[in-house]
Amino acid sequence: MCRLLAYLGSPIALEQLLYKPEHSLIIQSYQPREMISGVVNADGFGVGWYHTHKDTAPFTYRNTLPIWNDVNLPNLSRYIESKCVLAYVRSATPGQALDFANCQPFSHQQHLFIHNGYIENFRKTLYRKIRSTLTSDVYEHINGSTDSEHIFALLLSHIQLNQHRPPEYALRRTILTLEEMAKRYQVKALVNIVWSDGNRLIASRFATSTPAPSLYWLRDDLNYPNSVMIASEPLFKGNWTACPENSIISVGENCDIQIDKI
């Protein structure tokens, strides 16, 4: 399991998101409150963000070190500013390698993606099945071995195949496909996802069997006006709302929120 954080709104320094909150992602890396498996998130981390003024592909900074051991991130986070940020700290599934190819966020063109959860016994069950359904160029883009990257690849394939539909549709199709595969192989799948193209956030809280991993959203906090945050755990005291299980949460460019059942 991992801990996630996503932000969309007025431009903000990474430091304000990663270090300032009382229960920041840094704290959650070694003292999480709501993980349903694992104890710490010390198997790497990553941050992805979009340029505030230029329409460019997103930037990522990743490391296999625990986030508290990275000596560069505190200084970088003081000077990097963005209106859209995705970040996570990793608790690796047993058997998954600790290397950069397996570090999130994963990116492709304008897409950024983070995942909290797992597919049970992934390599022996859904690994080949998922790969067999991918479009050829997405298949060739896979670099690592995690279930998370394969879920991202499945989502990208559905986006490509349904370009005339909104990305919420592609995410729904991705989750329903995983649910069908998981039932066929009689395995559990936990699929908390956040996706972005730099202008919006789309997230899911889903599990084939309860409970689903925790996920919350917060809009227009006094200290973070004109913004929406999505996080595995509340970063500070405030009007955080638990996302319903088996739902998709959409955040538009104006920070409007829509929640739909899967």
Q: Which of 191, 198, 138 has the alpha carbon at shortest distance from 167?
A: 198
Active site residues: 2
User: In 202-246, where does DSSP find H-type helix?
Assistant: none
232 contact partners, CB below 8 Å, separation of at least 6: 2, 3, 4, 5, 28, 32, 34, 116, 192, 213, 214, 215, 216
Entry field: residues in the chain: 262
**Where does 128-223 show beta strands of DSSP type E?**
192-196, 201-205, 216-221
Asked if omega into 32 is within 30° of 0 (cis), the reply is no
Q: Which of 28, 102, 105 has the alpha carbon at shortest distance from 59?
A: 105
